[in-house]
Structure 1
Amino acid sequence: MQYLKGKTAVVSGGGSGIGFAIVEKLIAAQVKTAIADLHLPENLPSNTHPFICDVAAAPAVDVLFNKVYEVIGAPNILICSAGQGIHEKLTEGDPEKWQQVINTNLMGTLRMIRAFVPGMLEKGRGDVVIISSVAAGQSFEYGGVYAATKSALNVIADTLRKEVLPKVRVTVVAPGVTDTAFFENTVSGFHTIEDIGYGAISAEAVADAVMYALDRPHEISVNQITMRPTGQPF
């Protein structure tokens, strides 16, 4: 991790799952790290800076911005990992729940970009990592709203890449089925890793992919990483 020591980062969704795994690896690489999440576990590394924040709410992101700048300054790294799943049929589901997922997955990421990327541009260097999904670009029954948010994130990421190059690098990491509490915390619908039946990759494996992208020389951008259990067909 020769290019990361001494940098600063903010991680949305850093209190659990993939986000938490990323936080642990950033701390191990001596990156001063702020965490934004709705819920924070008791076992956070002692040298992190945790903040309760709903990234879907503009006032909450404004407060987070001010607190992050107070404790670590303008971050070098922004990790957008906050997200929710939903499993509903388009002709039967609840549009209010769809809006909740859109606000978190899409608008939450956009709010974090709008808040923290200008500071990176002022510094002249930075990294943005967006956790997407292999569901992006896919249509499947009951998965339309979730897949739509992830598809939109991919477009947002590539648009951002073009707007901020060469100062800021943008990476999308798109995992398949991952062994976290994601399926237990979907807004509606319920799946388990077992009933999906493809196996699962670990949150740590996804975090390793993020760290690989971050720890390249600045003149090298890793813009897209897709990873899935070998048995997963899509």
Structure 2
Amino acid sequence: MVQDLEGRKAVVSGGGSGIGRALVEELTTAKVPVAVADLDLPHTLPAGATPYTCDVTQGTAIDAFFAAVHQQMGTPDILVCSAGQGIHEKLTEGDPEKWQQIINTNLMGTLRMIRAFVPGMLEAGKGDVVLISSVAAGQAYPYGGIYAATKTALQVIAETLRQEVLPTVRVSVVAPGVTDTNFFQNTLSGSQTAESIGYGALSAQQVAQSIMYALRQPPGVAINHITLRPAAQAF
């Protein structure tokens, strides 16, 4: 039996757009209040969602976000790390400063969120952590080295965290294939689009629904990894 999420509280980084925003809509529909952290917040969010401007690459910003969430909603028992950015550069020609930005956002931002919020879950005796990875994890491909490396690292982080916090906190990785969001528009380098890749695309809502599937599992059941792709996607 799936569990009702009403009464739980969530934090979603990168919740202002894309997969994060779709998940905020799913959670608030399920009567879960959500603290939404993002650099670019939309003018409107669903009822039950509270916006917080937060740059996950900055430790001081996450500290301030944590303090505000703790004051306004207490300890959340769902943490979803969806903030991320892409880059498409050749390793022998790319810009190391841009690489550092991707590492700070995709990897260090997630680590800082874990460090801030998971201790409270352990103290409370329950919680769920969801990291948004990618099918690019573990998949070397030209021009994708930096992005794929950060997503591969996230999966190692997730498994490490799972072993460190079991059975109190469940840890899930959701690894989507090509998804039709503004991800490609916000890529630091590269001109790909969901259409140009040529496999078709998932919707942000479809990815969000897979996250909800993991969260709704009954106590004692952990969905540790979900991969979903357009059916035509080769890797």
Question: Where does structure 1 differ by over 4 angstroms across 4 or more consecutive aligned residues?
Answer: none
Amino acid at match of 1:143: G
Partner of residue 125, structure 1: 126
Amino acid at match of 1:63: A
Find the aligned partners of 1:18 and 1:109 in 2 and give their Cα distance.
16
1:115 match: secondary structure? helix
Partner of residue 90, structure 2: 89
Structure 1 gap segments, 5+ residues each: none
TM-score (norm 1): 0.99
Find the aligned partners of 2:86 and 2:146 in 1 and give their Cα distance.
9
Does residue 179 of structure 1 match 2:180? yes
Report deviation, 1:42.
1.1
Q: What percent of counterpart residues are identical?
A: 67
**Pairwise mapping of residues 94-173 of structure 1 onto structure 2 (< 5 A)?**
94-173=95-174
Structure 2 gap segments, 5+ residues each: none
- Residues 3 and 217 in structure 1, CA contact (< 8 A), matched pair in contact too: no
Partner of residue 219, structure 1: 220
- Residues 172 and 223 in structure 1, CA contact (< 8 A), matched pair in contact too: yes
Find the aligned partners of 1:215 and 1:163 in 2 and give their Cα distance.
22
Does residue 229 of structure 1 match 2:230? yes
Find the aligned partners of 1:7 and 1:90 in 2 and give their Cα distance.
43
Report deviation, 1:3.
2.9
Amino acid at match of 1:48: A
Find the aligned partners of 2:47 and 2:170 in 1 and give their Cα distance.
29
- Residues 3 and 218 in structure 2, CA contact (< 8 A), matched pair in contact too: no
Partner of residue 28, structure 1: 29
Find the aligned partners of 1:62 and 1:192 in 2 and give their Cα distance.
35
Report deviation, 1:177.
0.1
Report deviation, 1:2.
3.6
Report deviation, 1:47.
2.2
Find the aligned partners of 1:132 and 1:150 in 2 and give their Cα distance.
5
Amino acid at match of 1:155: V
Report deviation, 1:32.
1.1
Find the aligned partners of 1:48 and 1:199 in 2 and give their Cα distance.
31
Find the aligned partners of 1:70 and 1:161 in 2 and give their Cα distance.
27
1:36 match: secondary structure? strand
Report deviation, 1:193.
1.4
Report deviation, 1:173.
0.2
Find the aligned partners of 1:212 and 1:115 in 2 and give their Cα distance.
25
TM-score (norm 2): 0.98
Partner of residue 200, structure 2: 199
What do you get for the CA RMSD once the two structures are aligned? 0.7
Residue-pair matches, total: 234
Find the aligned partners of 2:126 and 2:4 in 1 and give their Cα distance.
12
Find the aligned partners of 1:108 and 1:99 in 2 and give their Cα distance.
12
1:208 match: secondary structure? helix
